[in-house]
């Protein structure tokens, strides 16, 4: 089952009332060269300046981004052309990232190709280590920049490192 590492940036805490500004996805495999990046026009007039600032974009820049329908269709096609069978959504903070991707897929495509579940990278590492106080972030090679492709790649590197440490997982 292909694992797709995803990272999103938003202008607020929840989808619908606020907008997903951009997201990145990386297919978890040794090369980490199959990536997707989308920048989405806001769907709401509401935004929190501090949340938007994390993305590095201004509101005016976001207003010129692509229509969400178009980006989600492109992401769906990218997933279909790069993955066979069921895909697994995984992220550093799946409670946050998943809610946006799931909402946008259901709203704009009518279904979520990831199904109804996701995996949290941090929780997976805590379980491996049998310690709820440990953090996986030292396993990243790519610097965490809030560019969602960089961040997804760094998290995918951590997952690959976890496999090297003995995690039983298959990426095919």
Catalytic residues: 146
Q: Which residues in 120-135 are b (16+ Cβ under 10 Å) and which e?
A: bbbebbbeeeeeeeee
Contact 115, 88 (CB under 8 A): no
Sheet holding 3-10, edge to edge: 35-39, 20-27, 3-10, 88-91, 118-120
Nearest residue to 148 via CA among 15, 3, 10, 2 = 10
Contact 10, 51 (CB under 8 A): yes
């Amino acid at each position: 089952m292909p694992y797709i590492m995803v990272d999103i940036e938003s202008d607020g805490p929840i989808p619908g009332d606020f907008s997903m500004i951009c997201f990145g996805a990386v297919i978890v495999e040794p090369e980490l060269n199959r990536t997707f990046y989308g920048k989405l026009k806001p769907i709401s007039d509401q935004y929190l300046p501090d949340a938007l600032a994390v993305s590095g974009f201004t509101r005016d820049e976001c207003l010129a981004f692509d229509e969400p329908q178009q980006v989600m269709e492109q992401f769906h096609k990218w997933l279909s052309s790069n993955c066979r069978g069921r895909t697994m959504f995984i992220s550093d903070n799946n409670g946050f990232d998943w809610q946006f991707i799931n909402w946008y897929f259901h709203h704009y495509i009518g279904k979520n190709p990831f199904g109804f579940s996701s995996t949290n990278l941090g929780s997976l590492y805590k379980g491996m280590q049998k310690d709820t106080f440990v953090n996986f972030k030292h396993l990243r090679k790519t610097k965490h920049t809030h560019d969602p492709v960089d961040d997804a790649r760094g998290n995918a590197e951590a997952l690959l490192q976890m496999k090297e440490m003995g995690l039983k997982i298959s990426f095919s």
